Structure 1
Amino acid sequence: MRDAAEARTDVASPRVRHLLASARAQFVERGFDAVSIDAIARTAGVSKETIYRHFADKEALFRAALDEQGAKFVARAAAVHESAASGGSELAGLARAILDSALDQGMFSALWVAAGVAHKMPDLASALQNGQGMRLEPVRQALENYAREKGVDRPVPLEVALDFGSLAVEGPVVLMGFPAAPPEARHRIAHHAAALFAQGIGSATAPGLPWPDPMPSAEAEPFEEPPSHIRTLLDVAGRHFLAQGYEGANLHLIGEEARVGRGTLYRHFSSKAGLFTAAMRALVQECARAAVPPALPEGQADVDALAAYVEAALAILASATSIQLHRVVISQSRRDAALARHVYIALRAPWVSELARWLNSLGMGQEADWHARQLLVLALRGNRLFAGGHPVSAQERRRYAQRAAAIFLHGFISQL
């Protein structure tokens, strides 16, 4: 058997490309854990021996399947570079290429799989996330060229390209159960995201293009304290699901720790899925009640005040509980998209609402909601905090907040 690095030399073979396409489709559809080498062999019409002749194990096969998709994005990025009339048009074209690759060609699949295995294979989850980032090297080069056009001849770190990509895909929206944007909407998203990242809100415009559609409002959920034994059950279940994932959590152990019988559990929640949904919604309510957005100065684009606001938002949205909550809900978004959408909207609603009101005071109209959500995307580093799963320190929160506020108001060059 050979390792993944050796396997990559064989991807030009039509037989291996067919195998990679078949494997990738199964991983994207079912997740890493649920797919076996036997199943891949049956679907691809090859023997297990053929798979192991090219790939050391399932992880090596998965990595190779993603690498092939990454090569397609790099080829498209090169074509965008060759045809672009200016640095600004190249950025818009790259934003569209990122969005199309994420939605149509599997660049999101690594993040979805990473969320599914993170609780027991953190090294693989981290490696998948890092691999996604390295595919944005052409974007980093384009941003460097754009900055040079504007008279700033400084190196652009890969982290800046990752931030650009995060805006292009609107953060974790698709990972959290929202439908993929149709082609006409992608054109608008890409151009507005590129303009915002390049110039900030002061001069970011994509002339003649309508703004992306606003996000649905959070569902009104009046809080009612459940009976004490059910409250205990929800708390215990929440801890187990966050620590073990949906598949790994054991109802017997949850009931035992909560001192609730199986009959009571099924009478109130009917199934493991029902308990999972209720426990996740309880955690969302807890996080949302803790959100106390500070006031922003009316009519003033004050970077320090905005950074303080974002830092307060990160204290909630990037807390250990919120990161684990996002990860486990993303891992189950194929099964329960409605729950994932609820988590996304409800956790951000207090922060988006106040930001949109402040942006209105700066003269924005219907586009305020989209800009508010994109600021939070920048602050949360797209999907990187969720995929990484590591706690965020107070020092990191401050740095992320200051960086996001500066890019949002003045464009990425302000941070070079």
Structure 2
Amino acid sequence: MYAERVLSGMRPTGRLHLGHYHGVLKNWVKLQESYPCLFFVADWHALTTAYDSPEVIADSVWDMLIDWLAAGVDPEKATIFIQSRVPEHAELHLLLSMITPVGWLERVPTYKDQQLKLAHKDLATYGFLGYPLLMSADILLYRADKVPVGEDQVPHVEFTREAARRFNHMFGREPGFEDKAREAVKKLGGKNGKLFEELRKRFQQDGDGAALEQARTMLNEAKSVSHVDLERLHGYLEGSGKMILVEPGALLTEAARMPGLDGQKMSKSYGNTVFLREDKDSVVKKIRTMQTDPARVRRSDPGDPEKCPVWQFHQIYSDESTRKWVQEGCRSAGIGCLECKQPVIDGVLAEQAVMCERAKPYEEDPTLLRRIVAEGDDRARVLARETMRDVREAMGLSYR
């Protein structure tokens, strides 16, 4: 019923590193070739945990945006914008908060997990409790049907689907909805109308998912039915009412696990990062001093690549022949650790050279970046206003 659309955001909490690139940005660059994409700076989300140090957020926004462009995010193919510049995010969040049970928020898996991880912070705030709902508002505001996430974030997408379903059920019941929906069924034609009713019954009475998908396909291919009637029919099919907010789907992504310099997950809090646009000498020094297999005390000691953080870098940056050379050379002590690290150094520097070249125009002329974001903000607002017009009307807040 709505066009395919991808939405994803990132919190501005400091300089981006190779973990962000291989875990998120490479996938964004790939997605923008296949779908209309919206990528936003989640500055309000950053406030949920960094409310006591907002200067970190302000200092990070523009550097992070340059990193996106350096990584290959293309403003001609994707809409790039800042969350707080589209106030409709806050409005939809507020309206959804009126109907969202507190228990839903408390059972989000990351709620207690983050409280434990950030025990040094006072997170007994509504902003922290409500951030999953703000995330839902971000998605629903643009009627995005695809949200790229890893498996650990699927519960957030399911939470968003529940929020959309609840809203549609409560506010999608226009006066005379059932009668209008039955009239819309007739417009499908006698044969298709009868099949639609059979599929609807199978789904609503028996929970037949295949019937639901078949009916959805039929509606999406219907040429003689108006947009308004299609909305009614989707709601009638699913038992919700008129579909105002679109239930998104999780677009599972294979995020390469980018290790840190010590073998743990790359993270600023561990001090084991290589930043996206880092000085060449600094990159070389960091990789040359990486810890290796503790069994290799001397150059002549054989080692095991599986126990060495450098091997994890080879899996990302080296080709098959180089990886074979590492396996054989390390296990036989035929190569030393500095020799082993050199192809990784070369790979990281080559990757960063391209990024630094892309970033250069924006570093030299900040107005170029400001213009890209201003245009992205404008495009995002157009979509957001369309959704909020329908939301206000459904809730009786249009006051016409």
Q: TM-score, normalised by structure 1?
A: 0.24
Max Rg structure = 2
- TM-score, scaled to structure 2: 0.24
Higher helix share: 1
